Chains A and B, each alone.
Chain A
Amino acid sequence: MDEFKTIETDILILGSGGAGLMAAIHSHDANPDLDITIAVKGLLGKCGCTRMVQGGYNVAIAEGDSIERHFMDSIEGGKWINNQDLSWRLVVEAVNCIAKLENQFGCFFDRNADGTVHQKAFAGQTFDRTVHKGDLTGIEIINRLAEQVWARGINRLEEHRAIAFVRDTSNTQLAGVVLINMRDGSFTFVKAKAVLLGTGGGPTMYRYHTPSGEKTCDGMVMALRQGLTLRDMEMVQFHPTGLLAGMDTRMTGTVLEEGLRGAGGYLLNGDKVRFMQDYDPRGERATRDIVSRAMYEEIRKGKTTPNDGLYISMGHLGAEEMARKFKGMVERCADCGFDLAAGLVEVVPTAHYMMGGLVFNEDCSTDLPGLFAAGEDTGGVHGANRLGGNGVANSTVFGSIAGVSMADYAGDADGFHDPDLTQVGAAIEAALKPFDNPAGDLNVLREDLLTLMWEKVGILRNADDLNAALVRLDELEDRLHKCGIGDQSRTFNLTWHDWINLESQIVVSRAIAHASLARENSRGAHFREDFPQTGDLEKSRFTCVSLKENQMQVATEPVEFTIVRPGQSLIGDDPVAAPGKEF
Chain B
Amino acid sequence: MADTIKVEVFKGEGGQGAYQVFDVPRMESQTVLDVVTHIQRNLDASLAYRFACRVGMCGSCAMMVNGSPRWTCRTHVGDVVEDGCLKIAPLRNLPHIRDLAADLVPFFDKMQKAGGRFVAGKEVPQQMLNIDPQSPARVAVDAGIECIGCAVCYAACDVVAWTPDYVGPAALNRAWTLVNDERVADTGWHLQQVALDGGCTSCHSQGACSVHCPKSLNPSQSITGLKRAVAAAFIKGEL
Contacts and interface: CB of A to CB of B under 8 A. Distances in A.
Given A61-B128, A246-B27, A489-B46, A143 B98 contact: no
A148 B112 CA distance: 10
Given A106-B118, A335-B76, A489-B46, A113 B57 contact: no
A492 B97 contact: yes
Contacts of A442: 41
Nearest to A48: B52
A555 interface: no
Given A106-B118, A245-B29, A492 B99 contact: yes
A206 to B, nearest CB: 15
B46 A488 contact: yes
B120 A147 contact: no
A72 to B, nearest CB: 23
Given A147-B117, A249-B30, A42 B60 contact: yes
Contacts of A102: 128-129, 183
B55 A254 contact: yes
Contacts of A250: 31, 33-34, 37, 51, 54, 73
B50 interface: yes
Nearest to A98: B128
B196 interface: no
A174 B223 CA distance: 49
A7 interface: no
A136 B53 CA distance: 13
B57 A51 contact: yes
B30 A493 contact: no
Contact of A249 (B31, B59, B99): B31
B94 interface: no
A494 B146 contact: no
A248 B42 CA distance: 12
B61 to A, nearest CB: 9
Size category, B interface: 35 or more
A147 B133 contact: no
B131 A111 contact: yes
Size category, A interface: 35 or more
Given A61-B128, A104-B120, A337-B76, A213 B52 contact: yes
B112 A151 contact: yes
Given A150-B111, A443-B41, A494 B47 contact: yes
A142 B30 CA distance: 29
A492 B133 contact: no
Interface stretch (A114-122, A297-305, A521-529): A114-122
A84 to B, nearest CB: 26
Contact of B125 (A48, A103, A110): A103
Given A111-B131, A114-B130, A150-B108, A251 B118 contact: no
A108 interface: yes
Could you tell me the dominant secondary structure of chain A's interface residues? loop
B3 interface: no
B30 A42 contact: no
A506 to B, nearest CB: 18
A491 interface: yes
B118 A246 contact: no
Could you tell me the dominant secondary structure of chain B's interface residues? loop
B145 A140 contact: yes
Interface in B116-143: 116-118, 120, 124-134, 141
B22 to A, nearest CB: 15
Interface in B150-207: 178, 181, 183
A106 B174 CA distance: 12
A442 B37 CA distance: 13
A518 B22 CA distance: 49
Interface in A362-400: none
B41 A46 contact: no
Interface string A76-116: 00000000000000000000101110111110111111111
Nearest to A243: B55
A144 to B, nearest CB: 6
Interface string A423-444: 0000000000000000100110
B88 interface: no
B181 A106 contact: yes
A46 B60 contact: yes
B28 A103 contact: no
A212 to B, nearest CB: 5
A183 interface: yes
B2 interface: no
Contacts of A439: 45
A249 B60 contact: no
B231 interface: no
A494 B29 contact: no
Nearest to A491: B98
Contacts of A494: 40, 47-49
Contact of A143 (B55, B101, B133, B148): B148
A52 B55 CA distance: 9
A332 B74 contact: yes
B216 to A, nearest CB: 9
B8 interface: no
A19 B96 CA distance: 30
A512 B23 CA distance: 39
B225 interface: no
A250 B73 CA distance: 8
Contact of A113 (B29, B133, B178): B133
B57 A108 contact: no
A254 B73 CA distance: 12
Contacts of B145: 108, 140
A147 B50 contact: no
A139 B34 CA distance: 24
B228 to A, nearest CB: 23
B76 A336 contact: yes
Interface of B: 13, 27-31, 33-34, 37-38, 40-42, 45-60, 73-76, 78-79, 97-99, 101, 104-105, 108-109, 111-112, 116-118, 120, 124-134, 141, 145-149, 178, 181, 183
3 smallest beta-carbon distances between A and B, as pairs: A106-B118, A492-B48, A245-B29
22 contacts: A42-B52, A43-B104, A46-B59, A51-B57, A51-B58, A99-B127, A102-B183, A104-B120, A108-B181, A108-B183, A113-B134, A139-B146, A147-B112, A147-B118, A150-B117, A183-B98, A213-B51, A249-B30, A250-B51, A251-B55, A336-B76, A492-B99
